[in-house]
Amino acid sequence: MTPADTTRRSSPPAAVVEAGDPALVVRGLRKSFSGRTVLDHLDLHLASGEFLALLGANGCGKSTALRCIVGLETPDAGTVTVHGHRLGAARGTEPAHLRRQTAMVFQQVHLVRRRSALDNVCAGALGRLPLRRSLAPILFPRALRQEAMACLERVGMADRAAEPAGRLSGGQQQRVAIARALCQRAKIILADEPVSALDPAAAEQVIGLLAGLAHERGLAVAAVLHQPQLALRHADRVVGLLHGRAVLDAAAATLTATDFEALYAPDHRPAEQEPR
Amino acid sequence: MSTGTLSPQIPPAPPRRRLISPAAGAVTAVVVAAHALAWHATEFSPAALVQGWRGMADFLGQALPPDLSWQQVLLPSLRAALITLAIGLLGTTLSVPPALGLALLAARTTAPNRWVYQAARSILSFLRAVPDVVFALIFVTAVGLGPFAGVLALILHNTGVMGKLWAEAMEEIDLGPRDALRVGGASGIQIAAHAVLPAVVPQFVGLLLYRFDVNVRSSLVLGLVGAGGIGFLVNQSIKLFRFDEMVTHLVVVMALVVAVDQLSAYVRRRIGA
């Protein structure tokens, strides 16, 4: 019995799927690096208003999946559909417009350290600004700065707007990065290990914030996590990856320790256990 | 079973280090041979230097003490030093726009495609390879003797040097902010303006100040070929065998170079470059 066989593939709770539109659908995503398969026909879906946790051991393809979805990596095969529009198959101005609907929050935050938190948040809107209003922060329209302040307010960082990003703590920087994603007006937020470098309190705050954006604003949010407890507390649904495939897809509330064990230590799973 | 403690057994001895590897030996031999050839090619001869001590003593006898007469030597020397400073300043600042433009095209992180990248790299290599003195000689024939030719020469050469150094600085940045903005749909120019350039500002300013320092010294040499400034006065003094005047000019040059060096170092320290 393979580890994949021992984990379950249950449908997400109907309430979660039906709660929102299918914001993101990934079908048969494949990606190899130097002959090593990292993603192996990965299927994934994410609904508006849903907070999805992606779990799995290091190297199982979680981050690569997110990078393929946002276009930072080119998949070898497979399709990515955002709100019914297939990326790569769209024509004219559609690809950029569709790309902007998906924002990414990174583990290393990726803010410009010397720029203020506000300028970093404004930078999330660059894709929809004309060039003449976007070549320097001083040229940003007043309306954008106000919108960026509202985004900072949403993540509880409005009082640090003028502070250079490099002077903020890790948790504060991550919240500014989330505000940047909000300023992008993205409908889908993908977070790649957003709390791996944070202390438990800051991690709780950031994941709570992401969950709030899904549940209160109706955004589709997926976060790669290495803390099953955080996933259980905040996520609606958990997808577990093993060797580049989704081997677990279930409502967070129904998961048990055995499910996590299968993801992180598949070889040690008791052979006699039946799939649920 | 691992107990978490170190084994009481004696660990195996580390491999013996060779005094010199065959590759290192070959490199050393090549370097020594190159120096031997260079010694021969340049007719390097400490003995000839010792034998020529009398000529050196004559020169020093004529050069010292320096001529410090205010109206005839010192005042013209200070005025020429200011022109030298101005040549270095304009030669540096006016090379910033072309250097920045070419650097953006010559950095892998910002170049639109590899053809543009290769073309920009080639232009920078050419500008860097041609010495500023050669550019000055060309411009003297075009715009005549004087500091303007020096400024033009420095702009071209400095564009090549700064463009290459800036392009390399841009290639070494953390690509994360670039990726974050790319995901948001930012264009190449927007990414350069908001992710690449802000990350390299300290290196840019540091290199700019260093090049100002170098350019002031270069503009002295440019004066020797007719591009104005204090180098021109040094050249005149040598041609007229007025070595005492020449020493005065060199003292002014030294003061100028030290002042620029100190200023440049101070500003670089303040900005953490």
Residues of A with CB below 8 A from B203's CB?
Answer: none
pLDDT of residue A266: 60
Q: How far is A123 from chain B (nearest CA, A)?
A: 7
Q: Choosing among A126, A128, A189, A190, which should be mutated to test the B contact, i.e. which has the most B CBs within 10 A?
A: A126
Residue A153 scores a pLDDT above 80: yes
pLDDT digits (tens, 9 = 90+) for A201-229: 889 989 999 999 999 999 999 999 988 88
| CB contact at 8 A, A246 and A8 | no
Q: What pLDDT is stored for residue A162 in this prediction?
A: 94
- A131 touches A102 (CB < 8 A): no
Q: Does A19 touch chain B (CB under 8 A)?
A: no
Residues of A in contact with B180 (CB under 8 A): 104, 106, 110-111, 177, 180
Chain A: closest CA distance from residue B101 (Å): 14
* The predicted structure's pLDDT at residue B97: 95
The tally of CA atoms less than 13 A away on the side-chain side of residue B197 is 15
State the ipTM, two decimals: 0.81
- Give A 237-276 residues with CB within 8 A of chain B: none
Nearest to B176 among A70, A96, A106 (CB): A106
Specify the CATH superfamily of domain B70-271: MetI-like (1.10.3720.10)
List the one residue out of A55, A53, A66, A45 whose CA is nearest residue A235.
Answer: A53
Compute the nearest-CA separation of B88 from chain A (Å).
29
Closest chain B residue by Cα to residue A105? B180
Q: Are B157 and B135 in contact (CB under 8 A)?
A: yes
Chain B residues near residue A108 by CB distance under 8 angstroms: 174, 176
Contact status of A106 with chain B (Cβ, < 8 Å): yes
**Residue among A156, A142, A271, A258 at smallest CA distance from A206:** A156
Residue B43 contacts A, CB cutoff 8 Å: no
Chains A, B: CB contacts within 8 A come to 79
Nearest to A176 by CA among A187, A166, A190, A186: A166
Instruction: Report the residue from A103, A110, A127 with minimal CB separation from B176.
Output: A110
Hey, is the C-beta of A128 within 8 angstroms of any chain B C-beta?
yes
Q: Given 3-state DSSP classes, what are the helix, strand and coil percentages for chain B, each rounded to the nearest 5?
A: 75, 0, 25
Give the least confident one: A31-35, A269-273, B68-72. Answer: A269-273
Q: What residues in B contact A129, CB-CB < 8 Å? A: 190
Which chain A residue's Cα is nearest to B193? A135
Residues on chain B touching A180 (C-beta within 8 angstroms): 180, 184
- What residues of chain B lie within 8 A of the CB of A100, using their CB? 184-185
DSSP of B93-121: HTTHHHHHHHHHHHSTTT-SSHHHHHHHH
Chain B residues whose CB is inside 8 A of the A102 CB are 183
| Cβ-based contacts of B187 with chain A (< 8 Å) | 126-127, 131
Q: How far apart are CA A78 and CA A80, in angstroms?
A: 7
Neighbours of B31 (CB within 10 A): 10
What is the token pair recorded at B187?
Answer: 């264009």
C-alpha B93/C-alpha A46 separation (Å) is 53
Chain B contact for A197 (CB, 8 A cutoff) = no
Domains with residue ranges and CATH for chain A: 1-101+187-276 (3.40.50.300), 114-185 (no CATH)
Taking the Cβ of residue B177 and every Cβ of chain A, the question of whether any pair is shorter than 8 Å is answered with yes
Interface test with A, best of B104, B170, B178, B183 (most A CBs within 10 A): B183
Contacts of A109 in chain B (CB under 8 A): 176
Q: Which amino acid is at B91?
A: G
pLDDT in tens, chain B (273 residues): 444 455 567 888 877 777 778 888 899 999 999 999 999 999 998 888 888 888 888 888 887 888 778 878 888 888 888 888 888 899 999 999 999 999 999 999 888 889 999 999 999 999 999 988 898 888 888 888 888 888 899 999 999 999 999 999 999 888 899 999 988 889 889 999 999 998 888 888 888 888 888 888 888 788 777 777 788 888 888 888 888 888 898 889 888 888 888 888 888 787 765
B201 in contact with chain A, both atoms CB, cutoff 8 A: yes
> Could you read off the pLDDT of B1-54 as tens digits, one per residue?
444 455 567 888 877 777 778 888 899 999 999 999 999 999 998 888 888 888
- What is the Rg, in whole angstroms, of the alpha carbon atoms belonging to chain B? 26
Torsion on CA atoms B45, B47, B51, B53, rounded to nearest 10: 80
